[in-house]
Amino acid sequence: MSADWIDLYKKKVCTAEEAARAVKSGDRIMNPLCLGQPTNLIMDAIADRKDELTDCEFHACLTLRPYKILQPEYRKSFKITAGFLGTPNLRSCFPESESYGRYVPVSSYSITKQFSYYRRPDVAVFMTTPPDKDGFVNLGPDLFYTRALAEGSQTSKGVIGGARVIIAEENDMYPPAFGYTKLHVSKLTHIVRNSAKLPAPPPPKPTDVHHKIAMNVMSLLRDRDTIQIGIGALPMVVSDLIVKSDLKDIGILTEMLPTGAPQWVEKGICTGKYKKFRPGEINCTFMGPSAELYEFIQKNDFVKFFPSNMTNHPAVLGAETQLVGVNGALEIDLAGQIASLTCGERIFSGHGGQLDFAVGCRMSEFGRMIIATESVGRGEDRKPISRIVKYLKPGGLVNTPAHFVDYIVTENGIAGPLDGMSVAERAMALIRIAHPDFQDELVKAAKDRGIFK
């Protein structure tokens, strides 16, 4: 690219209010999944036009910031739908009195197709770095579906999709990332300059139960495994145990970059040399807020971000020899069906990438899909409830079918390998790792249902 981009760039720089005026009634507005989301600056400027706009939709995923548009007083102008809840800001829009009617089911690997072919946004607002000397901004550590919002999808019939209005919040404090992260300023319609720190909350505090579960997970890991694991208290403990282990040559091919990655690399545990997809690299599609990871991704060019239709594609995952997925659950029935986004009709998150990796692990030679959860949760009345149940609550959505799960782990032990077990054998294995206070009740339920003779 020649230096002509500078004049083009200057014409697109504007205020948040000027960019907000590009939104029309009936528009569908979208942000990226996580760190690529803009600050309140532009989104609140759009919300401030509530008296001028009608029939707009804000499709949100894992929204980190308290945008005005999420508040009830903006609902006449902006309908809220969501592909993944998971944050307090977004869950507040889905009250207990309401079912999951405004939830949009989608899997991570096919999400770019959904947002290009079928539910194309009219307005995309996302964060970028300032442009480099050639006029390319960096999309940073959030490639989940950001490129699909800006560019659509390349097909045999040409490019399909891409938003009409593409607003970039140029943030000089946004960390650039390696991988498929550069976008030329010519793709943008508006550029709003800002300087804002990214969130970096303190890590969650693990409990003794988390440590017991993590120890059980660790017993299932092997040298040369390629691992998918997210963030949170339990994954953090697993990460710490991996650092202290004698594991060798593990790889990372994941949806979310784990917080332990810097230590795995520093200790020489993570080499990725036996990965089939881009050996020697750490590959992911996004990461959560973490000050340590912000520094890590900028200093190491082997950490590369790609859209989720690459990192989560079951064909890519299934080509790995020892792919291991570690994921959670809210409810598990006696056959081993996993509900990880709902308890009955109450929704807490989304389908996400769990099934992508479950299918990938099933296709992978020596692959293992591990569901790790505490044996007891808390109900709406804060009373203890079993995560392992006689059947999923009415209205609950199954995220991962029983035949795609290899191991289920609680603090009380490991059920599995489940492959080849009858439902009666699975039920017995699961009851053994349920909390002792609920085991008799589960045995009776299995007998009443005819699972046990």
What are the backbone dihedrals phi and psi of residue 234, each rounded to the nearest 5 degrees, phi first? Answer: -65, -50
Tell me which residue has tokens 């149940």. 389
For residue 325, the cross-strand partners are: 228, 369
How far apart are alpha carbons 120 and 210 in whole angstroms?
41
CB contact at 8 A, 377 and 366: no
Using CB atoms within 10 A of its CB, is residue 271 exposed (0-12), middle (13-18) or buried (19+)?
A: middle
Q: Is 255 a catalytic residue?
A: yes
Q: Give CA 186 to chain center in angstroms.
A: 29
How far apart are alpha carbons 388 and 408 in whole angstroms?
10
How far apart are alpha carbons 28 and 149 in whole angstroms?
11
Using CB atoms within 10 A of its CB, is residue 92 exposed (0-12), middle (13-18) or buried (19+)?
A: middle
Sheet holding 123-128, edge to edge: 78-84, 56-61, 28-30, 123-128, 165-171, 190-194
Tell me which amino acid residue 66 is.
P
Q: Which residue is catalytic, options 169, 170, 255, 411? A: 255
State the pairing for strand pair 158-160/153-155.
antiparallel
How far apart are alpha carbons 305 and 324 in whole angstroms?
19
CB contact at 8 A, 101 and 94: no
How far apart are alpha carbons 272 and 92 in whole angstroms?
40
How far is residue 442 from each of residues 164, 381, 387, 408, measured CA to CA in Å? 54, 21, 11, 16
DSSP secondary structure string for all residues of 207-236: -HHHHHHHHHHHTT--TT-EEE---SHHHH
CB contact at 8 A, 113 and 152: no
CB contact at 8 A, 307 and 148: yes
Segment holding 347, helix H or strand E: strand 346-347
Annotated catalytic residues are 255
